[in-house]
Structure formats: structure tokens, C-alpha cells
Amino acid sequence: MGCFDPVNIVPIEARLFEDCVDGYFPLSVTLAHLLQRQCFGSALIAIRVAPMMDIPNLESGAPVPLHINPLYSGQIDWLVAIARMQPLGSCSIVSGWAQWHWNDRARDKVSRLPHSLRLAEPAYVHGIGFVQGHLRTRSLGRVKLAETSSCVALHMPNIDLSDFSTDVPQFDTVESLCWSLNPTYFLEWFDHSVVGSWGCRYSLNLGNGSEELLLVEKRCEVIWRALISDTRAYTKRSFDAVPA
Amino acid sequence: MISQELNDRITRIGSGTPAGTVLRHYWQPAALVEELHASLPIAVNLLGERLALSRNQLGHWVLTGRKTQIDEPVVCYPDADQIQILEDGPTYPVAENNGIIFAYLGDGEPPDFPNFDCFRADESHVFAFKGLWECNWLQALEIGIDPAHASFLHRFLSDEDAEGSYGKQFRDTVVQTDIPITHVLREYPCPEIDVEETDYGLKITALRHMDNGRTHVRITNQIFPEAICIPMSQEMTITQWHVPIDDENCYWYAMFTSFGEPVNKEVMRTQRLKEHELPTYAPKKNRLNHYGFDPSEQKTQTYTGMGMDINVHDQWAVEGMGTIQDRTREHLGRSDKAIIRYRRMLRKALKAVEMGDRAALPMQGNAHVKTIVGPLSNDTIALTDDWFGVSYRADLKRRAACSWDASIL
């Protein structure tokens, strides 16, 4: 990753959250409900060991099936994705990584989860939600600059400071989020070395300069960081340098 | 809805199955001490295994494999002289704890017992009993961690004088009030539910927002892997395991723990023996007699029409789903938060044991199991702004007044 310039670090309004999402609907709809309920414009979400289904030719607005065919069912072992609200209230899963298996083992040869994916039962999710604002980002859509202090920041290479309507606060501020979740617990299962890619819908040919880095700090110490872009969302356990 | 394969993974408990392996990493109730007054050995059917409990020459309890008799039913208590010990069968560690014989059927060293109230209370303050349910253990457990069901399944159409409520669940008043629990459950059926993962399992908080800025707070717990801890009355809690006999039958084992007076065990045992047959502890109300259903009672007294014993209501609900609930046709909702969180914990545990990572299981590995105390389990009514503080302080007050060491600080 190399060093990064603190001048490119932008505190943003965000908070940790946990919730229980409905199953049965297309996942993009389920996550839209989540974002609306939590008043987020986008979120980095995590789902662990959740049953899933993908029923061919089932219209998105069709009634929920009464019975599940084993051929169409499986389990997400873990999934981390960035969900982003779209203007009309639906939601797009911008990017994500996951580990999963299908009952029909032949489907496991496909290295992507389909966009028609549904959770087969409600699921517990947690993550970091981002308040919608005016700062344009590649990964999270439009986010809101933190006006006082924040534990969450984006490192944005080639940032254009003219995007900002307010001054950029310093990053080395005290913690201000309510830590209802232990962040190490949130991250316990991240291990991107063993998983397949998922959801590469956008911007397949990004260069290094387009990567965005999500930083979470506590008591002026960076405790977690995730390299995100619109094709990726995964953690980076070690860095050559972190901001002072 | 989950596939049959996923349902099998979380329900079946035979040796070598994923869920069976998880359960075998924990002490399991195997028998009531009161059962041991019969001639030894006694039969113990646990986790699909046919075992026998006896004493060795040193007087220690020994749990060993036994020969299965031809056409032996799943629930059976053969005479001692009919029991033949398998010479090359398994032998399992056994521990006696406040009225229950616990057994450890897993590999390696058994874990420590947590310092739960039911284990640390004086023997005089704990009463243990059990009952048979003819269904899979998981559906038996899941009803106990659903805070919403009590407002419907256990709805009483009128309130009973708390004077006659000793030993009965949901019949007391809320602590420091004269409001019957039955009134709260009936009038406020849609609780706000919060579920928090803990060292021992789940802490489940149900908030029923009442009039005048008050909130009824009911805190219950799921103790991993298959127990619950819930309030029974102002002075008692129930810690209850749902222990598989096999895939299609289970026993609930309950430890009624008093923070006040010593338990009147004679009264509590007599109450429960009115409802159960010995030696099987099978409920007298069951599928064969329609669980005692009485339409006139349903019209005037209870939601189910199945009597005042809430155990019968739960038994009907869980047995009615079939011996193993068909979850390929199940549709959980968001109010099933605790069930969803519990299944997540269970599935994580299944993955962990398959990876050989025992330390990842709750209350295993490097966890300081003996330092786990409580859990907090009570009913209170509080000003909505301070519901957490009121519940917590009520628990501390009850503990401070307790004759046995119930301290948690």
C-alpha cells in the first residue's frame, strides 16, 4: 500500500450499527430497507453464516415462495459488501467479497453470487453506515463530511478539495462514536486470502490511484482499515505507514 | 426457509454430526438426583446414546454404555437387573450439581461449569425437575428465546391473585408493583426486542412500552448451546436445558433458583407430579388427549384452552410442529431476532468444530468460564428513560438481600 498523505484523509459522518434484515426479498431490496431504516446513504455491511436462495425466473416482486427447493439454496459463510442507496429508493450492492456454498455443488464452480440473490431467512447484520452528504466518493457514493470530529475517515488519493463546502477537520480527534460493537469482534472473520470475488459490476479497470481507504480510529489510534473501491471491499491487516 | 440439508445440520445430534459434536463440548443434564433413589444402575438415554448411570466401588458416579434391548423404546427406564453394561463401551465424566447429574460426552477435557446462579446457590435454594417433550431439541429451545410468544401462547384472559402463584410461572406481580405479569403480557403484546451477544450466549431484552412513560422490561437469556435462563417470579429464576434424548425427543431440565426464601421443594414437586408420569416424566397432557384442550376454557380463561400450566402450552406448540420442524417451509420474521442470532451462533459453532477450533466456541478454550456470573434475569417496570438502570438496580438489590453469595461485582 505504501505511505499515504494525511492531507488526503477526510473525516466523514458514520456510525457502527447492527440490525436484523428481512430475508426473502432480493438482497438489493433487503439492504435498501436497511439503509432507509438506519438513515444511511451507504454502508459497509457484514453478514455471517446466513442461509441464501436464488430461485430462477422468480420476479423481484413475486410472492415469497412457501417452500424452498434444495437446488436453489445454500449458505453464505460470510459476506462483506458496500450497499449504496440509488435515487429511486432501491439499492445497489456496489462491491463485496464473500465465501459461500450451494447445496447444488455444481453451482460452487461459479465464482460470483448472482444479483438475484435472496436471504432465505432474516439475518443479523452489522457494519459501518455512512450519512449521505455532498462529498463525492467512488466507493460510498455521496457522504457527509464530519463537521466536528469522527472516528471514521476516508483516505482518498487525488482528492479534489474543491469538493468540500466546509473546512476539513483534523483526523487526530477524540473518539466520538458510540461503540456499541467491539470493532475487533466486527472484524474477527475477515480473511480475504481465502475467498472469491463477488459483484464486480462497476469499473473493472481501476488503477491504484482510484483506491479509497476506510479508516476507523479509537482514541487517536487507527484500529481498523479497509481498502475499498467500487470493485473491492476488504481489509488490509498491515500497512507500511499509518497517519500520526 | 432453509434446505433440508441445512436443517439437518442444526438439528441432528447423533455421534459425529455437526450439532451433536457442538453439544458434546458442554456438560449435559443426564438425570435428576431424585431418580437415583431407585435401584442402580438406571438407564440414561442421551444424545442418541444408550447409557447407564451407576456408582463405582469408590462411590463415584459412572456413566457407561449399555446394551440396547430388542424393541426398546426411545424413552425407557428398564429395571436395574435388566441393564447390561457394555464392557468395551464408552465411559463419560459425570458431575452432580444442585439436584442434577451432568455428563460430558465430548472429546478432551470437559469445560468448567460457569458460576451461574443455579450452580452457586445453596442446595436449599434450588429445585430441579424435568419433563419429556416429543420433538427435536432445537424447536424446544427456540420457543424459549422468543420474547413475543408469551403474549399470545401464555395469554390469560384474567389475572390471578399473586397469593396463590407460588411455584408457577407468569403468575406473580412485577417487582415493586402490584401489576400482574399476566396483565402486562396480555395488554402489551408487541415488545421491542433487543438481543446482545455475550460470553455465555445471548442476553434478550423485551421492552413493552406502557402508558405514562413507563416500560415493562423483561430480561431473559440463552445459554449456549441449549439452555435458557428466565425469570419465574420476583424471587425465582428458571435455568432450563433442552437436552436431546435422540433427534426426535428431548427432556427439559429445569433448575428453579430462589434469591429469597429456601425453595419449598415439596410444594413444587407435588405441583409438577400432578402434570407428569413417573418414571418417564412424560406429561399427562399430550397429543393423545389433545393436551387437555377445553373450548369453554379457551373462550373465557386462556388463549390455548389447555389449562394454566404454561409448560403444556409450550409443549403443544413445539410438538405440533412435528418431531423435527420442517424449516424448508418456515418463514421467520424480524421479530424472531433472538432465534436468528442464536442460529448464527450455532452455525458459527458448527463451522468451528468442523475446523477443529474448539476455542472459538462460547465458554471454551481460553475463556475464563468460572468468572461468568449471573445472568441477570428479571421483570421490572421502569420509567422508559431509565429502563436499563432500573432493571440493573433491581437485580443488584435482589442479589444483595440474598442469603447465598449472589454477588456479581
Let me know: does B187 contact B194? Beta carbons within 8 Å.
no
Of the ranges A160-169, A186-195, A218-227, B176-185, which is most confident? B176-185
State residue B385's pLDDT score.
92
Least Cα distance to A159 among A110, A211, A109, A82 occurs for A211
Distances (CA, A) of B300 to A153, B154, B156, B189: 61, 14, 9, 19
Domain residue spans of chain B: 4-12+112-400, 27-110
State residue A81's pLDDT score.
79
Let me know: does A228 contact A95? Beta carbons within 8 Å.
yes
Whether B101 has a pLDDT exceeding 50, the answer reads yes
Cα of A240 to nearest chain B Cα, Å? 30
pLDDT in tens, A43-56: 988 888 999 999 98
B166-183: average pLDDT: 79
State residue A224's pLDDT score.
65
> Among all residues of chain B, which has the CA nearest to that of A75?
B6
Q: Across the interface, do A70 and B331 touch by the CB < 8 Å criterion?
A: no
Which residues, in sequence order, are CB contacts of B225 under 8 Å at separation 6+?
A: B22, B23, B25, B26, B346, B349, B362
Least Cα distance to A182 among A224, A153, A149 occurs for A224
Residues of A in contact with B336 (CB under 8 A): 122
Q: Across the interface, do B340 and A122 touch by the CB < 8 Å criterion?
A: yes
Domain residue spans of chain A: 6-13+130-235, 18-129
State residue A8's pLDDT score.
64
> Among all residues of chain A, which has the CA nearest to that of B346?
A49
Distances (CA, A) of B229 to A67, B117, B153, B182: 33, 10, 19, 19
At A197, the pLDDT band (50, 70, 90 cuts) reads very low
Please report the ipTM that was assigned to this predicted complex. 0.86
Which residues, in sequence order, are CB contacts of A232 under 8 Å at separation 6+?
A: A95, A97, A211
DSSP secondary structure string, B324-364? TT-GGG----TT-HHHHHHHHHHHHHHHHHHTT-GGGSTT-
B131-160: average pLDDT: 95
Which among A24, A66, A121 has the least Cβ separation from residue B2?
A121
Grid coordinates representing B360 are: 472459538
Q: Across the interface, do B3 and A49 touch by the CB < 8 Å criterion?
A: no
Which among A51, A67, A122 has the least Cβ separation from residue B334?
A122
Which residues, in sequence order, are CB contacts of B224 under 8 Å at separation 6+?
A: B26, B200, B201, B202, B345, B349, B361, B362, B363
Q: For the structural domain made of B27-110, what CATH number should be given?
A: 2.102.10.10
pLDDT in tens, B252-283: 999 999 999 999 999 999 999 999 999 999 99
Report the alpha-carbon distance of residue B65 to residue B256 in Å, rounded.
30
More confident residue, B297 or A159: B297
Grid coordinates representing B273 are: 407430579
Grid coordinates representing A142 are: 455521496
At B124, the pLDDT band (50, 70, 90 cuts) reads very high
As a whole-number percent, the residues of chain B with pLDDT over 90 amount to 88
Whether B106 has a pLDDT exceeding 90, the answer reads yes
State residue A214's pLDDT score.
77
Report the alpha-carbon distance of residue B131 to residue B250 in Å, rounded.
8
pLDDT in tens, B25-36: 999 999 999 999
Task: Tell me how crowded residue B248 is: count the other CB atoms within 10 A of its CB.
Answer: 16
The residue type found at A98 is A
> Among all residues of chain B, which has the CA nearest to that of A123?
B340
